[in-house]
Amino acid sequence: MGLEPEQIAQILLRERNRLISLAEGIVCDGHTADDIFQQVVVAALEVHCQFSNPKHLLGWAVTSTRHRAVDAARRWRTCLLTDDVLDLLEAEWSDSTERISDQAEALSRCLDQLTPTARDLLRLRYEEGLTAPMIARRQGRTADAVYHSLSWIYSVLRRCIQRKLAPAGR
């Protein structure tokens, strides 16, 4: 069974900056790069049942982004890197995307293991953008207590992620 459309959208949105950067490096135009990203997302959603896992999807998205960007660069006669340079960049970019995707997946699993209170504290800090003193006022705590809690959560997450990314048998 392939990835669900919601999963595809979530994965591609998480990798949005990387895919747009790849396209912009080829077409030398941010607006065109953003259009290419949108085309890649639509195309991925149209063939969603073909993607067996996130790695498969990301490999396809990198290749699709590159091809669409090269086509656009040729069509508009914008700056265009040689195929050799593009191959080197794509290989490096794909490797780093896989590492970052593994890290993001590990982070997601580790976040799921946190207590609801810890997840709520992270939500206030990062989704709502509140500072520690603002959270402290909202929760009737001191700012130092909030800083301490956040520090503890970061430490727990760091250790959890390191365990999940450690090679098997270590």
DSSP code at position 49: G
Residues 18-63 have pLDDT tens digits of: 898 888 888 888 899 999 999 999 999 988 778 888 888 888 998 8
Say if residues 65 and 36 touch (Cβ distance below 8 Å). yes
Which CA distances in Å does 156 have to 55, 62, 73, 116?
A: 27, 33, 46, 14
Quick: pLDDT tens for 112-154: 999 999 999 988 988 788 888 999 999 999 999 999 998 899 8
